[in-house]
Structure 1
Amino acid sequence: MSDTTATWSVDPADVARFSAIAEEWWDPKGKFGPLHVFNPIRLGFIREQVLEAFGRDGTARQPFTGLKLLDIGCGGGLLSEPMRRLGFTVTAVDASERNIAVASTHATAQGLDIDFRAGTAEQLAAEGAGPFDVILNMEVIEHVADPGEYLRTTASLLAPGGLMILATLNRTLKALALAKVGAEYILRWLPPGTHDWNQFLKPEEIETFLAGTPYQLEGPFGVSFNPLTGQWSRSADSDINYMMTVRAPV
């Protein structure tokens, strides 16, 4: 598919916006620099949740060997690569062909065998891909055209007892001030237009999207940024960034 091919879950404008800066994914001082700073807290949360969900040994070098993971909206592979190093068999998908090209080239240079695909969650479902033990749905849902249908489709790719980890932004005035106006227009941490505050999602909306389904949700788990230390940490405050988990029935 081309970078701007639309399906009902894809926002072509967002795909084009990220495609235009795809070569900067692995530059910690580039446009994705804030994501590099954010990555450790995401990785720690993922590792903690999967260890608990599958009863794996946290002292093992590759504790997740034998588990299949899907990274949806993988971008340049900032999560895909460490997941592969932890032992997962990784499939990584992004709607932008340019993102996939960058991610695949970088992973190959690191000697990592990751199945990178240009496509969407709907295409995976239509192709009968999976099921996957773990699905990463990180900072993607606020960029799609139909978040409810998108979330249900991604959840359908889970194996029995599988775990999906979702991260997104809360639609609050605090998030508008700090994550949108502050981050994009004052501090210039992100390119202007990266986010549309109207597409931010409240935790209760995530719950509504899966109402009546057999999936079990937990969270929100808040994360906060400390401007004095320049670091992210887990927090009781979910007014801006938060994560949730979705567990499939056994």
Structure 2
Amino acid sequence: MTSSQSQHSAQQSYTENVDSSEIDKFSQLAHKWWDKNSEFKPLHDINPLRLKFIDDYAHLSNKNILDIGCGGGILAEAMAKSGAEQVTGIDLAKKSLKTAQLHAMQEQLTHISYRMISAEEMAAECPAAFDVVTCMEMLEHVPDPSSIVRACAELVKPGGIVCFSTINRNPKSYLQAIVAAEYILKLTPRGTHDFRKFITPAELARLCRQAGLEWLGCSGFTYNPLNKQYHITDRVDVNYMIACQRPPI
């Protein structure tokens, strides 16, 4: 196999780790990313909690950060405003990226940039290039989450931090993340999540170990329907975040 054939094969495999229906779903909502009363309200509500969790482990000030599956830039902008030296957001939804780019311009954030590229392609192009890599609310939307985890491990520098967030898979998460959130409370549109793609903490821990990442810590989210607020909790039975480190050399 020639080098060009090998590169084409690699690019094809990267492209295959995409669910086109998921891209279409978020593209149709792209104009609503920064509407805090839209379908993206839950992301705006949990964003301060996500930011605190990431900063507690990664200490974002003066860091070069990559946000994988950045969508409209909600987390990327928050990290850029938290003292990061540079933030790069990547996604495969063109309309979402356009929204992110326009909003960053409006906010005059010159140290944030966006690219339409897969995590795997980015890893091949920029190995060990980032102090911090985040991949939040994305693993449950791709066909092969292990490929994303490996890419994150390749992208972060030795000693750097990788943070993930996703949804646990159990009866409680089905009831809360799908039945309650999509059908009863209508926090997210119907069809946002597929229970079969949810990932248990044990499964994610295994993927991280296989990718060479060391587990540092884990926290969960809880939602109070009475005051409509989210809080960080030690319970990880529904939404949860983890922090890992690529071992120093």
- Report the TM-score, using the length of structure 2 for normalisation: 0.89
**What residue number does 1:223 align with?**
221
Which residue in the other structure is 1:54 paired with?
Answer: none
Give yes or no for the alignment of 1:97 onto 2:94.
yes
Q: How does 1:46-125 map to 2 (within 5 A)?
A: 46-51=54-59, 64-65=61-62, 67-88=63-84, 89-113=86-110, 114-125=112-123
Report the Cα distance in structure 1 between the residues aligned to 2:149 and 2:228, rounded to whole angstroms: 32
Cα drift, residue 236 of structure 1: 2.0
Runs of at least 4 residues off by over 4 Å: none
Match in the other structure for 2:15: 7
Residue in structure 1 matched with residue 245 of structure 2 by the alignment: 247
1 CA distance for matches of 2:36 and 2:165? 21
Encode CA deviations 1:98-157: one digit per residue, 9 max, x unaligned. 010000000001100211011210111222355110011100111111011221112110
Does the 8 Å contact 2:205/2:215 carry over to 1?
A: yes
Mapped contact 1:96–1:119 kept (Cα < 8 A): no
Structure 2 letter corresponding to 1:15? I
Higher mean displacement: 127-136 or 113-122: 127-136
SS in 2 for 1:45: helix
SS at match of 2:131: strand
Q: In the comparison of the two structures, how many residue pairs are matched?
A: 234
Residues 155, 164 of structure 1: 8 Å contact kept: yes
Q: In the aligned structure 2, how far is the partner of 1:195 from the partner of 1:119?
A: 23
Cα distance in 1 for partners of 2:16, 2:217 equals 27
Matches within 5 A, 1:104-183: 104-113=101-110, 114-128=112-126, 131-183=129-181
- 8 Å contact from structure 1 (residues 27, 33) kept in 2: yes
Partner of 2:8: none
1:193 deviation in Å? 0.6
More helix by share: 2
**Helix, strand or coil at the partner of 1:159:** strand
Please give the secondary structure, in 2, of the residue aligned with 1:112.
coil
**Structure 2 residue aligned with 1:194:** 192
Do 2:36 and 2:44's aligned partners in 1 also have CA atoms closer than 8 Å? Answer: yes
- Find the aligned partners of 1:120 and 1:84 in 2 and give their Cα distance: 21
Which range is displaced more, 207-216 or 119-128?
207-216
CA 1:211 to 1:136, structure 2 compared with 1: closer, same or farther past 3 Å?
Answer: closer
Is there any run of 5+ residues in structure 1 with no aligned partner, and where?
A: 1-5, 52-62
Structure 1: distance between partners of 2:25 and 2:182: 14
Q: Tell me how far 1:27 sits from its aligned partner.
A: 0.2
Q: Aligned residues: percent identity?
A: 39
Gaps of 5+ in 2: 1-13
Amino acid at match of 1:185: Y
Supply the RMSD in Å over aligned alpha carbons: 1.6
Q: Distance in 2 between matches of 1:214 and 1:123?
A: 19
Q: Distance in 1 between matches of 2:46 and 2:215?
A: 23
Q: Which residue pairs with 1:34 in the alignment?
A: 42
User: For 1:210 and 1:50, how far apart are their aligned partners in 2?
Assistant: 17
